[in-house]
Amino acid sequence: CDRICVMHNGRIEESGTASELMTRPQTLAGMRLTGCKNTSRACKVSATNVEAIDWGMTFDVGREVPDDVAYLGVRARHIHRDRSCETGKRRRNSFDLHVARVSDSRFERLVLLDPPLAGARSRIQWKVDMVDTPSDELPREGETLRLHFDASRLLLVAK
């Protein structure tokens, strides 16, 4: 069998192939089961904009935001440095975030970022490949970096 069921509180919330669950989970439990480290309560702001309530960030997702959206998620590997800041331009879904902490494993650096919301209960996790990133470009504790969240990689779920 190539199907996976996501259960929460004793009930099946969603099912699908591993690929379907990874690319478009339908529930918060599905996002978490597939390893999505960054989740926030969310609310629709406009047709294509959603606010990540727990982070104090508003994203343009480039598609219709469902009226019943409840959570937004982004995988730790789907966050990238916004190189356009070198030209002074700010892209949509780019934010200046403070590096609160870093932790290295053999091949990657886990970066904990403070979201813009003062007193946020959790930090945003960003995983940086240490093999493909020059050492002088690796994020360091205390820096403020402009980071980009690709609209096509933002996950929206209703429950």
Give residue 76's pLDDT. Answer: 96
Name which of 111, 114, 110, 131 is nearest 122 in CA terms. 114
Spatial distance between the Cα atoms of 17 and 30, rounded to a whole number of angstroms: 12
Bridge-based pairing of strands 108-114 and 94-104 is: antiparallel
pLDDT at 12: 83
Which stretches does DSSP call E strand in the chain? 3-8, 11-17, 38-44, 49-52, 57-60, 71-74, 79-81, 94-104, 108-114, 124-129, 144-149, 155-157
Which residues, in sequence order, are bridge partners of residue 104? 109
Residue 88: the pLDDT is 63
Supply the pLDDT for residue 85: 61
In which residue are the tokens 């989740």 written? 39
pLDDT at 86: 60
Domain over 40-157 is classified CATH 2.40.50.100: yes
Q: What is the pLDDT of residue 126?
A: 98
pLDDT tens per residue, the chain (159 residues)?
A: 688 888 878 888 888 888 888 888 889 988 998 899 999 999 999 999 999 999 999 999 999 999 999 999 999 999 999 877 665 667 889 999 999 999 999 999 999 999 999 889 899 999 999 999 999 999 999 999 999 999 999 999 998
User: Residue 131: what pLDDT?
Assistant: 93
User: Where are the domains positioned within the chain?
Assistant: 1-35, 40-157
Closest CA to 97 of 110, 109, 81: 81
Which helix or strand (DSSP H or E) is residue 18 part of? helix 18-23
The letter for the amino acid at 62 is: G
